[in-house]
Structure 1
Amino acid sequence: MTTNSPIRAHPHAMAELCDAGKRLYATALRAGRIRRAEAEAAPCLMEFALLDPDPDDAEWLRPVPPTSALAQRLRPIEREIQERRTLANELSDTFEPFMAISAQDRPAVHSITVLEGGSRINAAIQVAIAECQSEVITVQPGGGRSEEIVTEAVKQSQRILDRGIRMRTLYQHTARHSQATIAYAEHMRQGKVEVRTLEELIERLMIFDRTVAFIPAREDRQAALELRHPGLVQYLVNVFEQLWQRAAPLLEEAPYAPSTDGITGVQRSIAKLLVEGHVDEAIARRLGMNVRTCRAHIAKIAAALGSGSRAQLGYLIAQSGILDPGHPK
């Protein structure tokens, strides 16, 4: 009698039977048995109980009929399915009384829903996109987007445009320095997409069909509010329309050209915020640029006005008249 060697587990599931196992199991079924030594090439056959020892000869193994093997494997799955069905029926019975209450004839409740986590926010936005029929309007503060983000925006925008939906987007003027953003606007201009820029914008905003809006609920943008109250949504639409009327089309000439004193429009905006007491980080965030660029503009303002210190700069800005409404631009 030979000594049985320990079975070596195969790193695969039964539903993914290896090629050697398939071949040897088929051979055993055709012949009615297979030598134990030959079956060692596929130890999974013993692990999955597809081969049993031959009671008459220890050197041979007999195949378990595939119908029996299948039934044995399906039995716990069918049991789990039955348990799931029972649980589903129990849940339906539990909530049925409340469904009846919800179905009563009453005015629709317009909600404000808090969405936490990027996945839940994106899922809600995707639902709104799928339900949208005519118009999408968005406010996207900050500077230019990366090529990866813009590429994804092109794909999503094209799917929306293919359904005949109009899109309007507001960026900040700093987006005009982003080649990826310009390329996006050029690519989309043949469709119903309009892109304009403004120096300062409100926080991020998305509105679909003037019936549902999304706004951030936290600075880290990991929480958002989904608004379906008609009054709130209409208020946000009105805010957008006022900004849109003041904005300049992205693909037209930049609205801030240098003035005769060498101070550009964006630098005047920075100067105004400096006089109001804002720090560099806050100014950069409001104007959609990085802090390094903001500080470079501040240095140019200081050089143009002959300022030797940050404290003196505020005084010189106020005395220079560059913030006066009638100052040349």
Structure 2
Amino acid sequence: MFRTLGGGDLTTNRANRAHPHAVAELCEEGSRLYADALRTGRVARSAVESAPCLVEFALLHPDPDDPEWLRPTPPALALAQRLNPIEHEIAERRRVSVQLSEVFEPFMALSVQTATHADSITVLEGGARINTALNLATSQCQSEVLTIQPSGNRPERSLTQGLERDRPLIDRGVRIRTLYQHTARYSPEKLAYTARLSDGKAEYRTIDEVVDRLIICDETVAFVPAREDQQVALELRHPGLVRYLIKVFEFLWDRAVPLSTGAPYETAADGITEIQHSIAKLLVEGHVDEAIARRLGMNVRTCRAHIAKLAALLGSGSRAQLGFLIAQSGILGQDTDG
């Protein structure tokens, strides 16, 4: 037979390629044959053809007195042969770890001394990295999560991710407060989502206009978008920034309407609804239809329908005249904060 450098013959090595596994995962047949060899002192070479791994891993070796037989390597010796290189590698890695720690120790101390506020801002690029950071922050949250979620057609997958993230929080006793725009009241998906979580620990309110998306965990970390497509976010851990964002949230929360109290779009005595008051205010400020729709969480068609109703109520024949009539009508002087 042709011997190879690995200690087995050519036939054995060919068979082992079709019988692959690590020595730590010794196959059932190999275990049985090795145990038999230890009990009897040897095993026929022909008997181990179904388990070439035994020769490959040097658990069996040729009998010097009879080439048709194989003798077992003592388990303690076989184990030592496998452990020695591993222990050597562990020792070497420990040595390198100590060496690296010694090299970086002065820089770590310098970093602490010269830390700036920029260290508290992390840029997260890509949905996967953003979700990973959010999942970590919420998993560590112990008391309260504050969120502002602008209305929009969030995909089913996004709502499912939110449910998977929020449900464990509530189960741990964490309080959740979420702000939506009023238009969320007409979204079956949003209503179904909030219904599944509204059990005392989750509160939902709506307001006519909100700032961009915001998530705050335990007054320690906040997440805000850094790009319109929601693919870049900022993770903020500076205490001053987080406190400021909490104040913004509380300012809006105090002026918002609980989702459970019914629709806030009741028609006032002048025939103009609350949402139309909000649209009128933005029109006078010079915003175009698309910007108004985005800020109020509605589609452009709905926004233009409300503008047309305003124009009809005020007797306007043009967009420019509508702005003038809104300013002259005094409707913006009414309390529209809710």
TM-score by length of 2: 0.72
Q: Which residue of 2 aligns with 1:113?
A: 121
Q: 1:8 to 1:155 in 2, by over 3 A?
A: closer
- Any idea what SS the aligned residue of 2:212 has? coil
1:138 is aligned, of 141, 147, 161, to 147
2:25 is aligned, of 2, 5, 16, to 16
Once the two structures are superposed, what CA deviation does each residue of 1:147-169 show, in whole Å capped at 9, x if it has no partner?
55445544544544455543321
Once the two structures are superposed, what CA deviation does each residue of 1:140-188 show, in whole Å capped at 9, x if it has no partner?
1233655554455445445444555433211122322333432443344
Instruction: Tell me the distance in 1 between the aligned counterparts of 2:191 and 2:311.
Output: 36
* Residue 266 of structure 1, CA deviation: 5.3
Q: List aligned pairs for 1:292-307, cutoff 5 A.
A: 294-297=299-302, 300=305
Q: Does the 8 A contact of 2:276 with 2:307 survive in 1?
A: no
1:326 is aligned, of 315, 327, 331, to 331
Matched, 1:255 2:264: yes
* Residue 99 of structure 1, CA deviation: 5.0
Q: Please list every run of 5 or more consecutive structure 1 residues that lacks an aligned counterpart in the other structure.
A: none
Q: 1:103 to 1:201 in 2, by over 3 A?
A: closer
Q: Please list every run of 5 or more consecutive structure 2 residues that lacks an aligned counterpart in the other structure.
A: 3-8
Once the two structures are superposed, what CA deviation does each residue of 1:13-33 show, in whole Å capped at 9, x if it has no partner?
222222222222222222222
Say how many residue pairs are matched.
Answer: 318
- Any idea what SS the aligned residue of 1:251 has? helix
* Residue 196 of structure 1, CA deviation: 0.7
Q: Does the 8 A contact of 1:144 with 1:177 survive in 2?
A: no
- Any idea what SS the aligned residue of 2:15 has? coil
Q: 1:157 to 1:298 in 2, by over 3 A?
A: closer
Give the structure with the larger helix fraction: 2
Matched, 1:7 2:11: no
* Residue 259 of structure 1, CA deviation: 8.2
- Any idea what SS the aligned residue of 1:49 has? coil
Q: Does the 8 A contact of 1:268 with 1:323 survive in 2?
A: no
* Residue 81 of structure 1, CA deviation: 0.8
Q: Which amino acid aligns with 2:26?
A: L
Q: Does the 8 A contact of 1:185 with 1:250 survive in 2?
A: no
Q: Which amino acid aligns with 1:20?
A: E
Matched, 1:200 2:205: no
* Residue 283 of structure 1, CA deviation: 5.1
Q: Which residue of 2 aligns with 1:166?
A: 175
Q: Which residue of 2 aligns with 1:92?
A: 101
1:71 is aligned, of 73, 77, 80, to 80
Instruction: Tell me the distance in 1 between the aligned counterparts of 2:271 and 2:54.
Output: 83
Once the two structures are superposed, what CA deviation does each residue of 1:32-77 show, in whole Å capped at 9, x if it has no partner?
2222332121222233232223333333333222222222221221
Matched, 1:191 2:209: no
Structure 1 runs (4+) deviating above 6 angstroms are 1-4, 258-264, 270-275, 302-307
Instruction: Tell me the distance in 1 between the aligned counterparts of 2:76 and 2:324.
Output: 94
Instruction: Tell me the distance in 2 between the aligned counterparts of 1:94 and 1:174.
Output: 57
* Residue 254 of structure 1, CA deviation: 1.7
Query: What is the RMSD computed on CA atoms of the aligned residues?
Result: 4.3
Q: Does the 8 A contact of 1:7 with 1:47 survive in 2?
A: no
Q: 1:55 to 1:313 in 2, by over 3 A?
A: farther
Q: List aligned pairs for 1:197-236, cutoff 5 A.
A: 197-236=206-245
Q: Which amino acid aligns with 1:194?
A: E
TM-score by length of 1: 0.74
Q: Does the 8 A contact of 1:274 with 1:314 survive in 2?
A: no
Instruction: Tell me the distance in 2 between the aligned counterparts of 1:237 and 1:195.
Output: 16
Q: Does the 8 A contact of 2:279 with 2:307 survive in 1?
A: no
Once the two structures are superposed, what CA deviation does each residue of 1:103-155 show, in whole Å capped at 9, x if it has no partner?
78x9x965532232456545554565466554332211233655554455445
Q: Does the 8 A contact of 1:113 with 1:226 survive in 2?
A: yes
